[in-house]
Every structure is written in C-alpha cells, then in structure tokens.
C-alpha cells in the first residue's frame, strides 16, 4: 500500500523545482455570521503549560479560570516555527515554500480584506526573521526604542496600549511577543543547588516575571475598556524540557515530547461562558476557529488547514507537530515521527523509543499525505 520507491521518486522530482503551495486548496466561502471583534494574540515565548499555576503565574492562572482554557493543547512545533502553525494552520514543513511564494496567512489576509487595523509589537522587536520574511510579510512592525526603565516586554505592552488608545472605528488585530521566558538562563540562582535545579529555578523566576508583565497587560485591557470588544488569546510558541524524558534533552527543538510541545491556550471571548476543555487541541486549530467563528468562513477546514476548530470536541486520531524536515503524529498512546523520506520512529507516551513496534499503516499514510497535501500538483 505504501510504495516507498515511488514516493521517493516523486519527492525527488518535486524538489528539482520550486514546490508551489496551493493555500487554500479551494477559494474560501463566507456563509456564516460574522462578528467584528478585535483580536489580541499574546505569545509568552518558551512557556510550557504546567508552569501556568497559582504558585508561579497567579495572574495567568486567574485569567485561565475566568475564560476558555484548553488544558491539553500542543504547539505545532518544538521550536520558533510553532508560531508559523499558529497563524497558517499548516505544518512547519511548508515554511520554505510559503516563504518563497510570499504567501501571508489566510487569517491575516482575511482580516485585511475586512479592514482590520494591524499592530505588531515585540519585546525584541521581532528579532526572528520568521516574522518579517514570512508571517507578517508586508506589514509594519511598531519598532520600540527600549530603555532601562522597564523590561522590554513591559515597554512593548505600554506601546501596545498607546496604539490601542488611538484606534477609532475599525476593528483591529494585534500581536504581542513577550520574550522574558526566552532568557531564563540569565536569572541568577544564588542557592547551593545542582545545575539542573538552577536551570529550573531560573525558568520559574522568569515565568514569574512574565506573569507580572501579563498582570500589567490585563490591567491595561480593563483600563482601555476593550474587554467586551476583544478576543484575547494567550499562548506560546513552544515549551521547554529539563530532561524529563531521560534522553539528555534540554530546552527545545530536540524531541516531540509533551514537555517541549504542550503550551497554554487560553482565550477570552466576549459572550462565551468560562469553560475548561480537556480534549486535545493544536496550534493548527486557532486560525480555523477565528476564521469560522469570528470571520464567517464556511469552508471545510481541510481546504485551508491541517487543523480543526478548537471547539470541535469530536475524537481525533492524532494531532500534528513537527519541524521543517519531519512530522510528528501524536495519538493518545504514542508518537510517530516521520521524516520526509518516509523513515519513522515510534515512541510511547513517555517519549521512550519503541524499538520492536511499528506504527499503524493508516497513521503513516496520513502523515505522509499531510506533508504533501498542500503542494500544487504538477500536470
């Protein structure tokens, strides 16, 4: 059923020329009710979900209890490309082709078509090229002249608040990248602790600092009086690991365990009752949700995404994560990692390698299909 040689030959032929992406596969249809709410997406980079507790992050934890909290949520990547999946709804394997084509996320293009204003703010002025060259290509960043009076993230929040205050009639979309937790290794731990404990203590200290900054942001939202007119999304690009898998994995971008993938997804949505959802969800689901439930798109999500609506609680066989060279399919029991040549590795729920077991053929086929589904077919 899986002709490996044929697959490799097609892959070789497609790579001989620039692979064009059909995104979306079909023209979007708009037959659902729209709601012109503002949208604020806040990414606290490098934040794993299990640190968002009253002990370390009371402001964020309180925000979660008062809104829509998805407690079993996974980033689409274990590195910075998680934000690519968040906006495009596609696996990271499509990054190079999307960048080559200059295609913006369908979500952002739809917002532009509906006359949304854009405000983009970052605690490091979007140092990662992924933002300027791909995700927000052609859009203006708000550059910040940082000083030593406050943390860069606090300054980004303050500049964002000034920008919102100037908005008049049109609805707006804004993105705030908070980078405090990215720099957790700079937080001094003066106790007589092991190297591992010092790293974890630094991480928790940086998370607590990020929570203070989120507290400032939440206060600004109330002061500006935009709570009832704005969808606020709190999440992260990826998590971080402190060798919980016992595979000498530290930080991110080394495996597809839950420690590197499981991140917060909390949404304040005016009119929706606070709810905790425990079904598995993905970064690939966010753009589908906003396009369908806010912007009126009635098309099948499979036409423009590898995800589904966040509020769709129907069982899913797997969720997707991955990098530019491989794909991870995560089920309730195990994780299958497939590279672009069709080679695979299988891991159990604790991300321990299963040497003598094979993934089911449908999982392999579906994974390989998703790696190629949005590429334009040659005649």
User: What tens digit of pLDDT does each residue of 223-236 get?
Assistant: 999 999 999 999 99
pLDDT digit string (tens) for the chain, length 379 residues:
455 566 556 555 544 455 789 999 999 999 988 889 999 999 999 999 999 999 999 999 999 999 999 999 999 999 999 999 999 999 999 999 999 999 999 999 999 999 999 999 999 999 999 999 999 999 999 999 999 999 999 999 999 999 999 997 889 999 999 999 998 877 777 777 888 888 999 999 999 999 999 999 999 999 999 999 999 999 999 999 999 999 999 999 999 999 999 999 999 999 999 999 999 999 999 999 999 999 999 999 999 999 999 999 998 888 999 988 889 999 989 999 988 777 889 999 999 999 888 888 888 888 888 888 999 865 3
Q: Does domain 29-311 have CATH number 3.10.450.50?
A: no
Cα angle at 233 between 204 and 57, to 5 degrees?
A: 20
For 28-42, the pLDDT digits (tens) are 999 988 889 999 999
Distances (CA, A) of 123 to 143, 160, 178: 10, 11, 5
User: How much is the pTM?
Assistant: 0.93
Find all residues with CB under 8 Å of 345, minimum gap 6, and list them: 336, 337, 353
Q: What are phi and psi of 194, to 5 degrees?
A: -70, 165
Integer Cα distance of 206 and 185 in angstroms: 9
């Amino acid at each position: 059923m899986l002709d490996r040689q044929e697959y490799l030959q097609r892959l070789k032929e497609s790579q001989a020329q620039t692979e064009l992406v059909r995104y979306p596969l079909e023209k979007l249809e708009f037959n659902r009710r729209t709601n012109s709410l503002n949208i604020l997406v806040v990414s606290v980079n490098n934040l794993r979900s299990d640190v968002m507790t009253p002990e370390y992050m009371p402001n964020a934890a309180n925000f979660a209890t008062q809104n829509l909290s998805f407690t079993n949520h996974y980033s689409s990547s274990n590195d910075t490309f998680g934000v690519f999946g968040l906006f495009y709804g596609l696996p990271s394997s499509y990054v190079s082709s999307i960048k080559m084509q200059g295609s913006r996320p369908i979500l952002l293009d739809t917002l532009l078509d509906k006359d949304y204003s854009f405000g983009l703010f970052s605690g490091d002025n979007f140092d990662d090229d992924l933002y300027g060259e791909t995700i927000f290509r052609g859009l203006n960043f708000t550059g910040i002249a940082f000083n030593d009076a406050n943390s860069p993230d606090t300054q980004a929040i303050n500049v964002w608040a000034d920008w919102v205050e100037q908005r008049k009639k049109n609805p707006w979309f804004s993105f705030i990248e908070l980078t405090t937790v990215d720099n957790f290794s700079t937080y001094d731990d003066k106790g007589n602790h092991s190297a591992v404990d010092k790293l974890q203590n630094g991480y928790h200290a940086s998370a607590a600092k990020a929570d203070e900054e989120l507290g400032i942001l939440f206060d600004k939202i109330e002061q500006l009086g935009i709570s009832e007119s704005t969808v606020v999304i709190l999440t992260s690009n990826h998590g971080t690991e402190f060798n919980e898998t016992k595979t000498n994995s530290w930080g991110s971008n080394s495996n597809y365990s839950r420690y590197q993938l499981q991140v917060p997804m909390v949404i304040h949505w005016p009119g929706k009752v606070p709810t905790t959802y425990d079904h598995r969800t993905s970064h690939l689901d966010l753009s589908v949700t906003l396009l369908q439930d806010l912007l009126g798109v009635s098309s099948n999500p499979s036409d423009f995404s590898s995800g589904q609506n966040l509020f769709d609680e129907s069982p899913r066989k797997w969720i997707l994560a991955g990098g530019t060279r491989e794909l991870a399919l995560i089920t309730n029991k195990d994780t299958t990692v497939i590279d672009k040549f069709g080679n695979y590795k299988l891991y159990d729920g604790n991300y321990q390698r299963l040497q003598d077991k094979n993934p089911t053929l449908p999982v392999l086929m579906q994974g390989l299909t998703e790696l190629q589904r949005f590429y334009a077919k040659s005649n």
